[in-house]
Amino acid sequence: MHDGALEPNRTSLGENLPRRTGRSSRRRSRWGLLLLALALCGCASAAKRFEQGAELESEGRYADAAQRYIQALRKDPGMVQARERLIAVAPLLIRQYMEDGEQFRALGSDVQGANRYLWIDQLVRDAAGVGVFRSSCLRTIQAVDDGPSTLPSMH
C-alpha cells in the first residue's frame, strides 16, 4: 500500500501548518489578553487619580487636585470628567497663585511672589500637555488685569 507518496496528515507540510498556526494563535491571544489587562490597569489608575483629585478639590487643595487630574489625563487622555474638572479648577488655582504672589510682593518677598507666577506657568504647561487649552488658563490671567470682579470665585 505504500507507493512512495506521502500519506495525508502525516508528514506533509500541510499537517504542520495547522499546529504552528494553533500555537501562534494562542500566543497572539495571550498577547491580546496582556494588552487588554494593561489597558484596563491604565483606566483603573486614571479613575483612581480622578477620584483622588475630586477628593482634594472638595478639600480646597486645588494644586494637588489639578495634578491628579493631569495624571489621570496622562493615563487616559479621553477621560472627559478629568478634563472638565481640570478646566474648572485651573482658574481657581491661578487666581490663588496670583493673589499669593501679590501678597508676597507687597510684603517685600519678591522671590516667593515670583515663584507663584512660575507655578502658574508650570500649571499652564502641564495642562496644555494633556490637551487642556492654554487659552482657558490665559483668560483667567487676563481677567486679573480687568479687575477682581471678573475672576472666578474660590468658594
Tens of pLDDT, residue by residue over 68-100, are 999 999 999 999 999 999 999 999 899 999 999
Higher confidence at residue 10 or residue 144? 144
Residue 77, H or E segment: none
* pTM beyond 0.75: no
Residues 69 and 60: beta-carbon distance below 8 Å: no
pLDDT band at 7 (very low <50, low <70, confident <90, very high): very low
The CB-based long-range contact list for 132-135 (8 Å cut-off, 24+ gap) reads 132/73, 132/83, 132/86, 132/87, 132/90
Phi, psi of 67 (to 5 degrees): -65, -40
Burial of 47 (0-12, 13-18, 19+ CB in 10 A): middle
Q: Rounded to an integer, what distance in angstroms lies between the CA atom of residue 101 and that of residue 118?
A: 10
Mean pLDDT across the stretch 31-54? 72
